[in-house]
Amino acid sequence: HIIDVADHLHRNPSYLGFIFKRDTGVTFNEFLSAYRVEIAKNYLTDMKYTVASIAEMVGFSDYRYFSKVFKNLVGVTPLEYRKKTVMAKNEEER
C-alpha cells in the first residue's frame, strides 16, 4: 500500500499519492489494482489454482472485491476470463 511505500521512501503518504497521480494520471491504488489483475491473468491460465486462491496470491483478501475489480478492468469475471483463455489455448493446440 501507499503507506508502506511512503514509509520506505521517508515521504508523507498524501504527498506521495499526489505526486503519483500527477505523474501517472492514476491513483496509486488504481495502479496497484491493475498490476495485481495483470498478474492474476497469468495465474488464471493454470488450472491448479482456484480463483479464490489467485485473488489471495495477488493481494486481494476478499474474493468478491477481486472479482469486481477484475471485471471493471478486464470486462469479464475471472472465471469467464479463465474459460475464454483455456478454450483459446486448447484451440491453438489442435
H helical segments located in the chain: 2-9, 13-24, 28-44, 51-57, 63-74, 78-93
Question: CB–CB of 31/20 below 8 Å?
Answer: yes
Compute CA distances 20 → 13, 17, 58, 93, whole Å.
10, 5, 22, 43
The pLDDT tens digits for 74-85 are: 999 999 999 998
The pLDDT tens digits for 39-68 are: 999 999 999 999 999 999 999 999 999 999
Question: How much is the CA Rg of the chain, to the nearest whole Å?
Answer: 16
Instruction: Work out the mean pLDDT of the chain and round it to a whole number.
Output: 93
Question: CB–CB of 27/20 below 8 Å?
Answer: yes
